[in-house]
Amino acid sequence: MVDPRIEKLAKLCVHYSVNLKPKEKVLIQGHPSAFPLINEIYKECLLSDAYPLTYGNLDLTYTFYKYAKEHQLKFVSPFEKFLAENIDVTIRVYCDPNPKKLTNITPEKVKTHAAARKELMEIFNKRTSEGKLRWTLLPYPIRAQAQEASMSLTEYEDFVYASCLVDKEDPIAEWKKIHQRQEKICEFLNKVNEIHITGEDTDLTFNVKGRKWINCHGKENFPDGEVFTGPIENSANGYITYSFPSFHGGREVRDIYLEFKRGRVVKAKASKGEKFLKSMLSMG
């Protein structure tokens, strides 16, 4: 029997997050560990008269980076490009059995492959901004991530599903309430010119005059519940420290310190993963 919270999350994803319409082409991606949720999303897409396609993400990342030659790192599949140019909706279910799997892979390989995929990202961003492509990324709780969080699987499942609000009777109504509350915050921040952030080992100032604040309420990065904008590109000055670890590209980076001058990072440090951090920053 499927956990009713998984069924509710699938319905929330299809009918609220991406607001799926009949005959739209949907790409559903995720690790096999997330099959219960992927299956429910796939079913919900069919019930919505859409055309779902599943794309299983086997955990081959380490093998790729360990053995791929430079020409393979730079290769971009024409099939991926076709999907980026033609899909209407993409749904990605996130659950990583080993978020640190690339710890011993040289950062240069990850950087080379990421740079090669820039065109795909540009296609994705362009179609998204034009309203031709809708997307969402949502979580599925598994044991490996529960362990990272120092929780039992049951505790972690409760935590994840509660954050998605599928423990509520009407999750869509709850996310609409969040939208209404956060819209007031956006209206206030849209009138702000300068932001000054202070805290322990943090003193950062940047300008947001004329920039639009975006209300995130359970649509793309799910769950969210945030408002954000992009500062004037050359306005950031000062420094900021992150106590929460970051996982990116199969590597862990801890105790990140970034120092900005006129919008550019002029100094970067980390207690773990510093070389990788600097390699990723050099791509900007």
Of 128, 234, 227, 221, the closest CA to residue 180 belongs to 227
Residues 6 or more apart in contact with residue 155 via CB below 8 angstroms: 146
Give residue 148's pLDDT. Answer: 85
Give residue 281's pLDDT. Answer: 83
Whole-model pTM? 0.86
What does pLDDT average to over the chain?
92
Taking residues 20-49, report their average pLDDT. 97
What's the pLDDT band for 67 if we cut at 50, 70, 90? very high
The string of pLDDT tens digits covering residues 89-100 is 999 999 988 888
Of 188, 167, 232, 218, the closest CA to residue 4 belongs to 167
Which token pair is 258? 């970034």
Q: Which residue has the tokens 């909706």?
A: 89
What's the pLDDT band for 49 if we cut at 50, 70, 90? very high
What's the pLDDT band for 279 if we cut at 50, 70, 90? confident
Residues 6 or more apart in contact with residue 238 via CB below 8 angstroms: 197, 202, 203, 204, 205, 259, 260
Q: How far apart are CA 256 and CA 242, in angstroms?
A: 5
The string of pLDDT tens digits covering residues 111-135 is 899 999 999 999 999 999 999 999 9
Q: Do residues 98 and 59 touch, judged by C-beta distance below 8 A?
A: yes
Is pLDDT above 70 for 165? yes
Q: Which CATH number fits domain 4-167: 3.40.1830.10, 3.10.129.10, 3.90.1010.10, 3.40.50.2300?
A: 3.40.1830.10
**Domain range annotation of the chain:** 4-167, 189-217+225-281
Query: Which stretch of 72-76, 100-104, 225-229 has the lowest confidence by average pLDDT?
Result: 100-104
Rounded to 5°, the CA angle 49-51-54 comes to 130
